[in-house]
């Protein structure tokens, strides 16, 4: 007879709440420093100091610098103190609730007016860091692939309205939206003096002309 007693797995609610609180502190510090100072000027040590934790705690609660950047981007996109999946973001829900292709594109363009100028510098810095750091390169590629996948969902949502041009495939629709809402596109226009408002108006007009059946 085997009298060996297996140890019970036990998770303390207090310990779990403490870990969650620490993670929120780290995320808040990362958001503030990365948003204010940029990727290159922000170190993990500075984030740890702002959050009043050790560097190892930053790594264990969120991850290394590329993971921190991705988390901050998801916080900005979700207008939240925690990273939020795309489907749960307020602007995505509003777009899906809209009934016409025109309404959906208008809502999306308007949301990008504030989101892209805030996230594009971080994404561009992550791309540059990836030229020498494989971990940063993987994080940047993951975000780009995720954006492309989300645009396929957007294309399917638009297709369901019956308003898309019949001669465009969903992949073509997704690629057009994906490329024109990319950080690169905004940064190029911004370097030429374009404002966020003008950028959003351009996207709305461009998508309307390119993607929808004309009455």
Can you tell me the mean pLDDT for 50-64? 90
Residue 4, in any domain of the structure: no
Q: In this predicted structure, what is the pLDDT of residue 24? A: 87
Same domain, 178 and 87: yes
Residue 115, in any domain of the structure: yes
Same domain, 180 and 150: yes
Least confident of 38-42, 69-73, 105-109, 142-146: 38-42
Same domain, 44 and 129: no
* Per-position b or e across 62-85, b if 16+ CB within 10 A of its CB: bbebbbbbbbbbbbbbbeeeebbe
Tell me how crowded residue 161 is: count the other CB atoms within 10 A of its CB.
Answer: 15
Can you tell me the mean pLDDT for 186-207? 97
pLDDT tens digits for 161-186? 999 999 999 999 999 999 999 999 99
Same domain, 184 and 172: yes
Cα–Cα distances (Å) from 86 to 79, 94, 147, 156, in that order, read: 11, 12, 10, 15
Are residues 72 and 30 in contact, defined by beta-carbon separation less than 8 angstroms?
A: yes
* Segment (H or E) for 115: helix 101-129
Pick the residue with more confidence: 2 or 150?
150
pLDDT tens digits for 108-138? 999 999 999 999 998 998 999 899 999 999 9
Residue 101, in any domain of the structure: yes
Among residues 63, 79, 103, the one where a domain terminates is 63
Q: What is the SS3 string spanning 71-94?
A: HHHHHHHHCCCCCCCHHHCHHHHH
Does 1 have pLDDT greater than 50? no
Among residues 19, 41, 63, the one where a domain terminates is 63
Cα–Cα distances (Å) from 81 to 4, 12, 58, in that order, read: 45, 24, 16
pLDDT tens digits for 61-70? 888 999 999 9
SS3 call for 198? helix
Same domain, 109 and 50: no
Q: What percent of the chain has pLDDT over 90?
A: 62
Does 149 have pLDDT greater than 70? yes
pTM value? 0.83
CATH for 51: 1.10.10.60
Same domain, 82 and 59: no
Domain count, the chain: 2
Are residues 106 and 90 in contact, defined by beta-carbon separation less than 8 angstroms?
A: no
Query: In the structure, what pLDDT confidence band is assigned to residue 36 with cuts at 50, 70 and 90?
Result: confident
Give the contacts of 198 (CB within 8 A, at least 6 positions apart).
Answer: 189
Residue 86, in any domain of the structure: yes
Same domain, 72 and 29: no
Q: Which two tokens stand for residue 138?
A: 């993987």
Residue 38 lies in domain: 10-63
Burial of 116 from C-beta contacts in 10 A (0-12 / 13-18 / 19+): buried
Same domain, 124 and 184: yes
Same domain, 91 and 169: yes
């Amino acid at each position: 007879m085997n009298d060996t007693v297996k140890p019970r797995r036990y998770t303390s609610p207090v310990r779990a709440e403490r870990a969650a609180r620490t993670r929120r502190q780290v995320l808040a510090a990362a958001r503030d420093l990365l948003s204010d100072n940029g990727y290159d000027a922000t170190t993990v040590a500075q984030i740890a100091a702002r959050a009043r934790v050790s560097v190892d705690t930053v790594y264990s609660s969120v991850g290394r610098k590329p993971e921190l950047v991705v988390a901050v981007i998801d916080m900005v996109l979700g207008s939240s103190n925690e990273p939020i999946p795309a489907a749960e973001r307020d602007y995505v829900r509003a777009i899906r609730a809209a009934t016409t292709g025109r309404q959906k594109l208008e809502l999306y363009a308007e949301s990008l007016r504030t989101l892209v100028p805030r996230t594009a510098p971080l994404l561009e810095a992550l791309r540059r860091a990836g030229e020498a750091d494989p971990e940063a390169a993987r994080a940047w590629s993951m975000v780009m692939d995720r954006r492309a996948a989300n645009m396929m969902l957007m294309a399917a949502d638009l297709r369901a309205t019956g308003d898309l041009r019949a001669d465009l495939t969903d992949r073509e629709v997704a690629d057009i939206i994906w490329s024109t809402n990319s950080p690169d596109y905004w940064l190029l226009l911004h370097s030429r003096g374009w404002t966020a408002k003008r950028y959003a108006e351009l996207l709305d007009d461009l998508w309307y002309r390119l993607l929808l059946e004309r009455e």
